[in-house]
Amino acid sequence: MSTSGQRAASALAGEAEIRGQSTLVLDYASGRTLYADAADGLRYPASLTKMMTLYLLFETIGEGRLSLDSELIVSENAASKPPAKIGLKAGSTIRVRDAAQAIAVKSANDVATVIAENLGGSEDGFAAAMTAKARSLGMSRTQFANASGLPDPRQISTARDMATLGRALLSRFPQYAPLFSVTEFEYGGKSFKATNKLLGKVPGVDGLKTGYIRDAGFHLVATAKRGGRRIIVVVMGGEKGKERDAKVIALIDQYLGAAQFAER
């Protein structure tokens, strides 16, 4: 990162509120903001970060530099990442399709690091590419420092930027949208359940990504469709996972209608 880039990142990170709540509801089709509360306040994005990790992975596949059956090499650094993880071993490999599913369902930190190192040469190099892509998408208040969202004071974003990313991810790569609605997957003889507890329980919800670190609270970027209309709901900084989920559900019901009117 350039010196000026480092200064800009430091200035942004210095504004971040550790546990402030942020909320935004976005109409998917038009991109219009339906509701916002502190949506531009800087927050630590935690595992919402992995939406950008997947964005760059899908982009690389689209460019023909990887396929879903390509094998990614697991380094000692990647294997040593703390949970959530799927327990990859150093020196092993993982197929791209399994890596994408592990992130979408389990939010695996070891897998996110594998992707970063294989695509970017290093996690720092990949983080720079993530930030550059954020700027190209119009995410002006986002700075990435790693591919997983593990704690780093330089890694910051906003509810508005995360909504922008979620919308871009779905609109640019609709073929991968089903990954985010999977509630459980198996890998290496183990079964992993989705971190998004709204899947299969709240009518219309079919994604997208959860996040949590202690200094940030509980996050969720949720996408839901009812009656032909799709919205994206972002809640960051919940004190508890259930509180976050309840707020997301209330906003979905408010802007898409009550559950009994959902598509069957």
In 3D space, the residue among 185, 232, 19 whose CA is nearest the CA of residue 195 turns out to be: 185
DSSP letters, 189-229, are TEEEE-S-TTTTTSTTEEEEEEEEETTTEEEEEEEEEETTE
d(CA 153, CA 151): 7
CA distance 118 to 137: 23
Whether residue 147 has a cis bond before it, omega within 30° of 0 = no
Q: Look up 106 and say whether it is catalytic.
A: no
Catalytic residue among 50, 81, 85, 133: 50
Give the annotated binding-site residues: 209
Note if 136 is an active site residue: no
Using CA atoms, how far apart are residues 90 and 23, in angstroms rounded to an integer? 39
The one catalytic residue in 22, 85, 106, 107 is: 107
> Residues within the annotated binding site for substrate?
209
Say whether 70 is catalytic.
no
Q: Report, as residue numbers or ranges, the catalytic residues.
A: 47, 50, 107
